[in-house]
């Protein structure tokens, strides 16, 4: 009887792993499970806030990615029964497995801040981006130019900065009255990144007329105001929260070792259960003192090794270890872009057209790898 492999998730890691498994396994039944019948190029999803029509360029139908032999199931996973070796779906169906790869991604962390989950919008899906676009125009239409719409963005990491830049560009192109405030609990934007990159990004944010406030964590959210740790209140019309990630709620029920609802693993991606592997944001991968960062580039790099190690497990071969390689940072602020420490480029931090080109090229290369360069070229103008 053929072995059964189940891959959960249509994000970067799951999508690439499926293609790797298709190419390098034979006589194996692959089942791919996802909540949507498309892959979203998530690191470009902020573009949809400005122009919803580009969703057609950065969503790729599953049928264009997988082979005809792979069985795709659209559904929500509710549990993995490690004793029965089955994946349970919300509709009551169960999918048996010999090995399962959990690549379900993450959800936005609200850190137990009162009211934040109830009153904020996140950016983890196509629907989130469309909601933000709609809310901007709904709220703006209710206000006069004398009372600008207040958009607060919590979290000044990559996602929060790109959202702020896109809202600013939408404001300028549409000629609508919006005041944008970017909040960061720590003392500087892009925490953990170099001061050169922080300074360059801050300069572009200021040019885009975005108010930056750092060093004062959000402590409570209401339907019209947020409260900061120093007891100051800020009013808002739209609150967008991008302040970190945690594992999906379904992780709680999976009987493997976890931390902060993310599955712990070493650099082979095997978990405390020999039949379960995990990769991407769902995984908390050991990497010296700090775990591997939950980024798109890390997921891309890791997926091949995770898939290969499932193949090796089927063949009773030793598992490979993966070494994370930071290939630099690319960040967009509206139509501007900044690059930092990009591999094989002799400049540390730079912007202008070269950075814009690199940002586009990275996204286009990913799309081309899943489908074709023809598809990637059609998306070039919106990336």
pLDDT in tens, the chain (383 residues): 679 999 999 999 999 999 999 998 888 999 999 999 999 999 999 999 999 999 999 999 999 999 999 999 999 999 999 999 999 999 999 999 999 999 999 999 999 999 999 999 999 999 999 999 999 998 876 555 578 999 999 999 999 999 999 999 999 999 999 999 999 999 999 999 999 999 999 999 999 999 999 999 999 999 999 999 987 999 999 999 999 899 998 888 899 999 888 999 999 999 999 999 999 999 999 887 788 999 999 999 999 999 999 999 999 999 999 999 999 999 999 999 999 999 878 778 999 999 999 999 999 999 999 999 988 998 998 88
Predicted pLDDT of residue 253: 84
| Sequence spans of domains, the chain | 3-106+247-314, 116-241, 329-382
Q: At what angle do helices 158-174 and 195-207 cross, to 10 degrees?
A: 20
Predicted pLDDT of residue 141: 67
Predicted pLDDT of residue 383: 87
Q: Maximum distance among all alpha carbons in the chain?
A: 71
Please state which CATH class domain 3-106+247-314 belongs to. alpha beta
Are 3-106+247-314 and 116-241 in the same CATH fold? yes
Predicted pLDDT of residue 48: 97
- The count of C-alpha atoms lying within 13 angstroms of the C-alpha of 102, restricted to the half-sphere facing its C-beta, is 35
Domain 116-241 fold is FAD/NAD(P)-binding domain (3.50.50)
Of the candidates 53, 215, 143, the residue with the CA atom closest to the CA atom of residue 151: 143
| CA–CA gap between residue 87 and residue 97 (Å, rounded) | 7
Q: Are the beta carbons of 333 and 205 closer than 8 angstroms?
A: yes
Burial-class residue 228 by CB neighbours within 10 Å (0-12, 13-18, 19+): middle
| Distance spanning both ends of the chain, measured CA to CA | 45
């Amino acid at each position: 009887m053929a072995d059964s492999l189940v891959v959960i998730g249509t994000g970067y890691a799951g999508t690439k792993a499926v293609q790797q498994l298709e190419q390098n396994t034979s006589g194996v039944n692959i089942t791919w499970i996802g909540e949507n019948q498309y892959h979203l190029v998530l690191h470009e999803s902020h573009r949809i806030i400005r122009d919803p029509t580009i969703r057609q360029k950065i969503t790729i139908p599953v049928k264009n990615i997988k082979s005809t032999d792979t069985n795709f199931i659209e559904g929500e996973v509710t549990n993995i029964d490690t004793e029965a070796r089955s994946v349970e779906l919300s509709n009551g169906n169960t999918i048996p497995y010999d090995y399962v790869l959990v690549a379900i991604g993450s959800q936005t962390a609200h850190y137990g801040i009162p009211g934040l989950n109830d009153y904020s919008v996140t950016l983890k899906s196509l629907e989130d981006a469309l909601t933000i676009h709609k809310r901007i125009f709904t709220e703006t239409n209710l206000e006069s130019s004398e009372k600008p719409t207040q958009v607060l963005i919590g979290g000044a990491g990559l996602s929060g900065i790109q959202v702020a830049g896109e809202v600013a560009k939408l404001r300028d192109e549409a000629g609508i009255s919006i005041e944008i405030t970017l909040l960061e609990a720590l003392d500087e934007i892009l925490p953990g990144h170099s001061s050169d990159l922080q300074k360059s990004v801050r300069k572009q944010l200021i040019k885009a007329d975005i108010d930056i406030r750092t060093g004062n964590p959000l402590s409570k959210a209401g339907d019209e105001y947020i409260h900061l740790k120093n007891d100051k209140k800020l009013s808002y019309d739209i609150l967008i929260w991008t302040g970190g990630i945690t594992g999906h709620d379904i992780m709680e029920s999976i009987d493997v070792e976890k931390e902060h609802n993310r599955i712990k693993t070493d650099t082979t991606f095997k978990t405390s259960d020999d039949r379960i592997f995990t990769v991407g944001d769902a995984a908390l991968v050991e990497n010296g003192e700090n775990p591997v960062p939950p980024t798109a580039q890390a997921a891309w790099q890791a997926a091949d090794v995770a898939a290969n190690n499932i193949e090796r497990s089927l063949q009773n071969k030793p598992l490979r270890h993966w070494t994370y390689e930071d290939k630099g940072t690319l960040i967009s602020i509206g139509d501007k872009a900044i690059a930092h420490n990009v591999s094989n480029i002799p400049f540390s931090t730079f912007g202008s057209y070269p950075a814009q080109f690199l940002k586009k090229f990275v996204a286009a290369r990913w799309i081309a790898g899943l489908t074709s360069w023809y598809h990637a070229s059609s998306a070039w103008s919106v990336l």
